[in-house]
Amino acid sequence: MKKQKLEAVETIKTASNYLRGGIADGLDNNVTGSLAEDDTQLTKFHGIYQQHDRESVVTRRKQKLEPLYSFMIRARVPAGICTPEQWLAMDDLAVQYGGGSIRLTTRQAFQLHGVIKKNLKTTIASINQSLLDTIAACGDVNRNVMCTPNPHQSEVHQQAYQAAAAISSHLTPQTTAYHEIWLDKEKVAGTPDIEPIYGETYLPRKFKIAMAIPPANDVDVFAHDLGFIAVVEKHQLIGFNVTVGGGMGATHGDLETFPLLAQVIGFCAVDQVTQVAEQVVKIQRDYGCRTNRKHARFKYTIDDRGIDWFKQELNKRLGWSLLAEKPFEFKSTGDEFGWSENYDGTWNLCLFIQNGRVIDSDSLALRSALKQVAHLDYGDFRITANQNLIIGQLTADEKAVVIDTLTPFGVLENNRQSLAQLNGMACVALPTCSLAMAEAERYLPTLLNKIENLQIKHGIQDRAIITRMTGCPNGCARPYMAELGFVGKGPGKYNMYLGGEFTGTRLNRMYLENIDEDTILIELDALFADYASNALDGEWFGDFVIRQGHIDAVTHGSQVHLPLAVV
């Protein structure tokens, strides 16, 4: 058989001397605001994406100027938990270098946008000073490990959080390149870089891990390469069901690419999770496709070779076998807004952050309000996987002060948005994302207002419908898990998906392709009329559209992009 050509990124990784490449020299080059193309592949492993302002490209070209380059920086925050001090550090950097905006991501991390090249090193160094870092926030490695973001809800939550943090640090790349380039640390002579888990070419593609604690599936565990579902008996965490092979990314018109739901493959004890994670990652390192990046995610490795092959390979490498999976039940994917009490008597406040954007606008000085709370130095700050924020672990006295601090800003009022808004999630998309084909973050709130009006018209405004939008099919807001999904196809045009499951256990399916807002609203008007008249008691919208025959449930991710009529 003819040997297939490796992807260009593979050669870049091999030649990079453990992720150094020419990044350091590129930072010193004042002639351009960009880095060399090969190096922009490597900076991803350091948590940095080169971007440019897509809206000024044509004007600048006419002025014979290069695109307005800047960088997106993603800080790794295992389970989304940080201190008020770390929040203040991110706030400070956002104001100084990031256009006054912090973006909370769908994977519980921070992003800063618009950082120009000359400010990159200072920004990364400051993030490190705050004891956060950006290592492996992007790139072909394991990314930020997600976990239900409330370690104080119960002792089980605390243990699960510790397991997630342990996996995160165990799978962090070992190269000292990051420290040399960004923190000016000298490499100790005679100490070669060793990547015991990844090797010098790292993984074929990005790798993502999430840990869910039923009944909450707020991390969307089945959308991940590797997942752990906590199993609790008699209030004790006894271990985790292990899931493998989930992922969202796809390409329009390429039916070889599709989202897949992870499968449960067995059960492991709490002290075995790190070992399981390491071996799963190593299997993907050795068997993942390195000749076609569109086929390189772990989900395809499993889909191609079969789950039985994978289980055998994993058990062989572990030297022991996973036990049979234990029963579990999820009841939701969203966040519960407002106040909740922890097992130790402290309090949490979950705040709705529309699409994760923390910024001061004319209507809401959100960034300033949160900064004031962080200055109080109470408890902790926790980013949820739905782009919201929990201010956690407050005593009763501190709770009262937080209420007094946030009230004048109207931040608590902001929590009282419609169910449509509270259950919506959009990716960044335009203007920063180079892959966006349509708006998402900037448009979803407007569309949701119109959807809410339709819900009111049909008397179903008290029904939560998980609605997600992305500007392209890569799936950054996990739109294929939504009851109602919109995926950008072109300016103002979206593919519409129906039939995901409220608790995140079923993929949806394309209902209509390339439609504009008018068509979306006409279709939803009819669907909502039917839902209002014919839904069973408590029946979720995603289940209803399937039972009522508006869409067929998918049995394999490859069907997601096939509208009903084609099947």
Which residues here bind ligand SF4, judged by CB under 6 A? 427-429, 433, 435-436, 440, 470-472, 474-476
Q: Decide whether 115 or 229 has the Cβ nearer to ligand SF4.
A: 115
Q: How do strand 424-426 and strand 467-470 relate by DSSP bridges?
A: parallel
Binding window for ligand SRM (CB under 6 A); candidates: 102-110, 395-403, 456-464, 541-549: 102-110
Asked if 152 contacts 393 with a C-beta cutoff of 8 angstroms, the reply is yes
DSSP string, 255-277: TT---B--EEEEEE-GGGHHHHH
416 a catalytic residue: no
Binder of ligand SRM out of 40, 111, 153, 455 (CB under 6 A): 111
Question: In the annotation, is 74 catalytic?
Answer: yes
357 binds ligand SRM (CB under 6 A): no
- In the residue annotation, 268 being an active-site residue is answered as no
Q: Which two tokens stand for residue 341?
A: 């009490």
Give dist(CA 309, CA 322) in Å, integer. Answer: 14
Catalytic residue among 208, 285, 357, 509: 208
Token representation of residue 403? 């209420």
Residues 486 to 545 in contact with ligand SRM, rule: CB under 6 A: none
Answer with the entry of ligand SF4, ligand SRM, none that 34 interacts with (C-beta below 5 to 8 A by kind).
Answer: none
Phi and psi dihedrals of 293, rounded to 5?
-60, -25
Binding mask 409-438 for ligand SRM (x = CB under 6 A): ------------------xx---xxxx---
Region near ligand SRM per CB under 6 A, out of 196-204, 231-239, 242-250, 316-324: 242-250
Does the protein bind ligand SRM through residue 156 (CB under 6 A)? Answer: no
Which residue in 350, 382, 433, 468 is the catalytic one? Answer: 433
Torsion angles phi and psi, residue 91, rounded to 5:
-60, -45
Least separation, in Å, of the C-beta of 475 and ligand SRM?
4
Task: Determine whether 472 is an active site residue.
Answer: yes
**Beta carbons within 8 Å of 31's beta carbon, 6+ residues apart:** none
Q: Which two tokens stand for residue 507?
A: 């993929």
C-beta of 148 vs 470, nearer to ligand SF4: 470
Question: In angstroms, how far is the first alpha carbon of the chain from the final one?
Answer: 34
CB of 469 to ligand SF4, least distance (A): 9
Among the residue ranges 4-12, 87-95, 196-204, 243-251, the one whose residues contact ligand SRM (CB under 6 A): 243-251
- 348, interface contact from ligand SF4, ligand SRM, none, CB < 5-8 Å by kind: none
| C-alpha span between 160 and 151 (Å, rounded) | 8
Q: Which does 432 bind (CB under 5 to 8 A by kind): ligand SF4, ligand SRM, none?
A: ligand SRM
In terms of DSSP H, where are the helices of 33-83? 37-43, 57-62
Please answer whether residues 77 and 127 qualify as being in contact, where contact means their C-beta atoms are separated by less than 8 angstroms. Answer: no
Minimum separation from the CB atom of position 334 to ligand SRM (A): 15
How many other CB atoms sit within 10 Å of the CB of residue 517? 14
Task: Assess whether 289 carries a catalytic annotation.
Answer: no
Number of H helices, E strands in the chain: 18, 20
Out of 209, 211, 223, 411, the only residue in the binding site for ligand SRM (CB under 6 A) is 223
Between 379 and 504, CB nearer to ligand SRM = 504
CB 471, min distance to ligand SF4, A: 3
Q: Give residues 44-63 in contact with ligand SRM (rule: CB under 6 A).
A: 49, 51
Q: Rounded to whole angstroms, how far apart are CA atoms 220 and 503?
A: 8
Please choose which of ligand SRM, ligand SF4, none residue 107 contacts, taking the beta carbon within 5 to 8 angstroms, the exact cut-off set by kind: ligand SRM
Q: What share of the chain is helix, strand, coil (3-state, %, to 5)?
A: 40, 20, 40
Taking the least distance from each CB to ligand SRM, the nearer of 87 and 528 is 87
- The b-or-e profile of 28-39 (16+ CB within 10 A means b, else e) is eeeeebbbbebb
Please state, as a whole number, how many other Cβ atoms lie within 10 Å of the Cβ of residue 550.
17
Sheet of 209-212: strand order equals 146-147, 209-212, 226-233, 236-244, 263-268
Please report how close the Cβ of residue 71 comes to ligand SRM at its closest, in angstroms.
10
Q: Does the annotation count 206 as an active-site position?
A: yes
CA 161 to chain centre: 17
Partner that binds at residue 223, options ligand SF4, ligand SRM, none, CB closer than 5 to 8 Å by kind: ligand SRM
Using the 8-state DSSP alphabet, how is residue 282 labeled? H
457 tagged catalytic: no
Which residues are designated catalytic? 74, 143, 206, 208, 427, 433, 472, 476
Which residues contact ligand SRM by CB under 6 A?
49, 51, 72, 74, 105-107, 109, 111, 143-144, 206, 208, 223, 247-249, 297, 356, 387, 427-428, 432-435, 474-478
